[in-house]
Structure 1
């Protein structure tokens, strides 16, 4: 959905460094596809599974190292989108099904990706202008009813105030 805005731009991978969370994945980097906008800026084109504080559509500044890798050094502007991560509870009514997660949230038309078959976390982009209050209500309902665990990896003021 966001990718169309930059369809003629060079597609690059921008890498993010972070401190691994205890009890979470051991990775300390994540690469996100982005459309190059200038010598040192790019617009993120996919939803982050691990990196907090950035969402699809955000513009980030990067530095290119001697190996040609582009490392994020900060967010320049927010695209207004939010990153939500949902993990279905295996013993819950949705089982380990990322498709069931998508189905429950389909009314909101959220774009997203599944981490892996072994770990069916669904990373979703809640676009600017979406029904944030409705999304939050359904996420909380699902948490209370044992469907899933969720976290907000990147929220805007509009998200937090909804």
Structure 2
């Protein structure tokens, strides 16, 4: 069900590391306060994010983040140091909407735009999408707004570029 992100930043054979993000949970949202994202080390304290975030705002797949390593070996993000130009969008299909509670239906509906992403879980069909910098941002945004207006889903933008905001 996972659609590969265009230009995926995960080269074969490279060792992935987990970068942890800490945040304040939002009321009425998932009750988590941390999220671990896979990344490739690009320096002693920097890594390029290799998957789309479900919970962490302000970061997208392909971004480079700085981290500190705790004595127990956990790597905690301290900030973004290089933006990839990608955006993060999260889509939650409406269970009684035309698509039903199907993450796959969300992927199918948005497939023409070349978005990558993955579903959160079978219990919650939240889909996190990477909108590549090369995508037709106006068309992606229009499709998301149309789907929301027609009762297919709700969505939020977790990481937006200036280009996304202008589209």
Question: Following superposition, which runs of at least 4 residues in structure 1 exceed 2 angstroms of deviation?
Answer: 1-4, 6-10
Higher relative contact order (CA 8 A, sep 6+): 2
Q: Where does 1:130-145 land on structure 2 (aligned, <5 Å)?
A: 130-145=135-150
Would you say how many aligned residue pairs link Structure 1 and Structure 2? Answer: 161
- Alpha-carbon distance in 2 for matches of 1:83, 1:154: 5
Query: What's the TM-score, normalizing by structure 1?
Result: 0.97
2:116 paired with 1:115: no
2:32 paired with 1:27: yes
RMSD: 1.0
2:8 paired with 1:2: yes
Q: Secondary structure at the match of 2:158?
A: strand
Q: Where does 1:7-156 land on structure 2 (aligned, <5 Å)?
A: 7=12, 9-156=14-161
Structure 1 unaligned regions, length at least 5: none
- Alpha-carbon distance in 1 for matches of 2:79, 2:119: 25
Query: What's the TM-score, normalizing by structure 2?
Result: 0.94
Structure 2 unaligned regions, length at least 5: 1-6
Contact 1:9-1:36 at 8 Å conserved across structures: no
Deviation track 1:87-142 (CA, whole Å, cap 9, x = no partner) reads 00001000001111011101001100000010000000000121000000000000
Aligned-pair CA distance for 1:10: 3.1
Contact 1:47-1:112 at 8 Å conserved across structures: yes
Aligned-pair CA distance for 1:7: 4.3
